[in-house]
Structure 1
């Protein structure tokens, strides 16, 4: 199944149902016609079938419309992160060589700066307010107004590339992940089934489309003939206003956004919300409990997956088993193998042992390999399996508990120590807002287990330092071997645009010290 046909069929079934909510609503008939015209405009502006179009916009309906139009134009969509710097953006543009790059008021200057470093610069087209298009830059929307509303010639093949997403590049250069129409369609179907997303569901579209979660929210809404309520940029108060006014029933967000919604003190007002799902990062039991108390959801799902293969496992009841990643998804197959980075898919660990998670590339949700990166393929793909780099253990019920990364494992004094186990224990401290554990260089131990802590507002760093150290000793339940040997109070924990912890920045020393338990290190 291709995504162009999927949208056209939904518009045939429910032409008058609201497809886009918010301040500028559209029915499916209207949105389908709009994307047909924009697909024609992409061709007219120079993106032929089989080419690629980079999209660098703040978000919301314009970006979603361009992404869906690219499917109909048989053009690969490349939503790029608005968090990229000029150097990183230039690298991606050189790597993927798009025919066009669409920009708006928020991204135009960044693109101009990046294009000075690009060997084969794409044509820049305007996707912001048509009345504010820079001189000499063609407007996609004005081109669409002149285009016929009939379907673009040619129908995508399910093997065509639908979208290419670039990973965040936290451990090196960004990697392009091409995903076919088939993979994207199956991932959207899996999302519907695995989260209980009902036909006609209303959902908040605030996750960025340069992340697989944002795409899944959009595409599953289209398949289910639901209402996608766009929010171009997250703001907790505005999100709650949208959720309440639009009667949003299902949320699919990263834990950091849920935390921000809770901090408003208003989440309980969102009586329409019945289904919660999260991905992208671990959720603490404390956050899960607070969400359950505020919303009383019918479904609370932990989705564990990646850009490369959308679903690894599904934890279907995060209220009963907070943080549990559950079992393989409906289109998935996983194994736990030896943590050695060079392990083969056949080196399955014994029952109850910690292993690295690998997922079968036979899944219809899976990619086929990275774009122009045989080195990355060699590292992550072996004998038909994708090596995620994650560590996990299965409990007595057969459910998976993810416990960090192979690269994050700390070898301290000859013992392998897993950060997330310690983080869960320390997160229960009443004096901690956030805590991340990583290994830092130590003369005696090789690496010292170090807790990076963000304290409560209004509490001095020195008080936080003393309180968390005392909690680790007396209240955490951690054996002495696993208690941190060093505590560092910092102003913030580094995160990616979608809330993933950038642990590597901490291990490399990229943080501001407010207080440090090492003698003479307090700032």
Structure 2
């Protein structure tokens, strides 16, 4: 099934139903006319079937409408993060070689600077308002040459938490399968009202949009996440379904009146682990009918589904409805047949036979060969299966901390420390250390009203009470914020590389197990390399 057909059938079924909420509401018939005019405008600008259309936009209805317009003419929507600077944009634009680049005032300057890179061939670059203007005198009928199911629908760029972003082309068939799977696996209902705040350069944002259309629901756009505004939209638009990253849920609980969330019936999350403490608070505040942990990636949308977060907080569950999953030896070069014994930690590998899977990275056969072996995609995620056969994700292969010759993973340490009432956020990394090789180091954000040095002392004490000795942080550093990507993925490499300013440090603040360092306060609170 191609998405142009999916769209046409949704319009045919529900022409007068509200398709878009928010300040600029539209019915399905009205949105059909708008996206058709935009599709014809793209054609008039020289975009043809198979061409990439780079969208450097924050989100909201205009970005979604351009995404759908590209689908209708068989072009490849290529959304890029508006948080990218010129070097990152230049890399992606040189790699994608788009036929058209569309930006907006907030991203126009960085995009123009990126397009000056000598690697990028000349390409039309228009402001969103100009594309909108050109669409006004176009036909509102469907374009005549729709795509096939095997044509590429979208090319997303991986977040680049460990390196340069890679293009992930996904076909119409894979996008449709993922949307259907999302609906079934999250308990979606026809006519659901969904908050559309996840960015369209991320798989969660695209999935929210397409699944809403497949179900004939209402997509309520929010171009940039703001917790207070989101809470107001949820209440006013009577949102019934949320699909967010954990950091957004934390913000909603802090900012929103619980009454604003009363109409939400279905919760789902992805993108990062959710601490049991947050899951418990959401259950208390919302009492959802369905609460789902979706574990997947840009490459293969669904790995596993944890269908009942209330019953098993943090559990990633079992393989999705269109997939197969194994746990294999996490050693480099392991075969997909090297499955670990029951109860042992292994790397999660997922069958490429899934209709939700990509076919390989864009122009990167080396990266494809590394990630796909023997018909299985090696995710880089580590997990353990419990006695029920459900997976519990324990971290990333790249995040492993080797301390004193033993391997530990940040997730379980973070899950323990985040319950400390003196801290609002935490991330754990391994920093180089002469004695330990890598020292387990906790970066904490003090809770409101808590001084940084007090937060350091409290977090250190909490770790000593809650964790076995090997997993206790050897060092606790207070910072004003944890570095994360636009969709909430923790950027541990920023901290390991010294990209932080310490507000307080257990190397200076006396704690029970960490007497005051001989180093000066000024030197210990100033981070040049982030090492002890």
Mapped to 1, the partners of 2:236 and 2:355 lie a distance apart of 37
> What secondary structure does 1:407 align onto?
helix
The residue number in structure 2 matching 1:310 is 301
1:265, distance to aligned residue in structure 2 (A): 4.0
* Cα deviation code 1:287-320 (max 9, x no counterpart): 1111111111010110000000000000111111
1:120-519 matches, within 5 Å, as 120-128=121-129, 139-473=130-464, 475-476=465-466, 478-518=467-507, 519=517
The residue number in structure 1 matching 2:51 is 51
> What secondary structure does 2:105 align onto?
coil
Mapped to 1, the partners of 2:247 and 2:259 lie a distance apart of 17
> What secondary structure does 1:159 align onto?
coil
> What secondary structure does 2:34 align onto?
helix
Mapped to 2, the partners of 1:471 and 1:209 lie a distance apart of 39
Q: Contact conserved, 2:49 with 2:147, CA < 8 A, in 1?
A: no
* Cα deviation code 1:123-170 (max 9, x no counterpart): 012313xxxxxxxxxx22232222222221212111100000011212
> What secondary structure does 2:284 align onto?
helix
Mapped to 2, the partners of 1:84 and 1:241 lie a distance apart of 29
> What secondary structure does 1:84 align onto?
coil
Mapped to 2, the partners of 1:307 and 1:87 lie a distance apart of 22
* Cα deviation code 1:109-134 (max 9, x no counterpart): 22111111153132012313xxxxxx
Please give the TM-score of this superposition, normalised by the length of structure 2.
0.94
Mapped to 2, the partners of 1:282 and 1:307 lie a distance apart of 16
Mapped to 2, the partners of 1:425 and 1:454 lie a distance apart of 15
The residue number in structure 2 matching 1:134 is none
Mapped to 2, the partners of 1:434 and 1:450 lie a distance apart of 14
Tell me how large the CA RMSD over aligned residues is.
Answer: 1.2
The residue number in structure 2 matching 1:132 is none
Mapped to 1, the partners of 2:173 and 2:279 lie a distance apart of 33
1:193, distance to aligned residue in structure 2 (A): 0.1
Q: Contact conserved, 1:341 with 1:406, CA < 8 A, in 2?
A: no
The residue number in structure 1 matching 2:16 is 16
> What secondary structure does 2:315 align onto?
coil
The residue number in structure 1 matching 2:90 is 90
1:471, distance to aligned residue in structure 2 (A): 1.6
The residue number in structure 1 matching 2:512 is none
Q: Contact conserved, 2:58 with 2:81, CA < 8 A, in 1?
A: no
Please give the TM-score of this superposition, normalised by the length of structure 1.
0.96
Mapped to 2, the partners of 1:517 and 1:234 lie a distance apart of 34
1:30-69 matches, within 5 Å, as 30-69=30-69
Mapped to 1, the partners of 2:35 and 2:43 lie a distance apart of 13
Q: Contact conserved, 1:240 with 1:267, CA < 8 A, in 2?
A: no
> What secondary structure does 2:239 align onto?
coil
Task: Work out the number of aligned pairs and report it.
Answer: 511
Q: Contact conserved, 1:177 with 1:370, CA < 8 A, in 2?
A: yes
The residue number in structure 1 matching 2:4 is 4
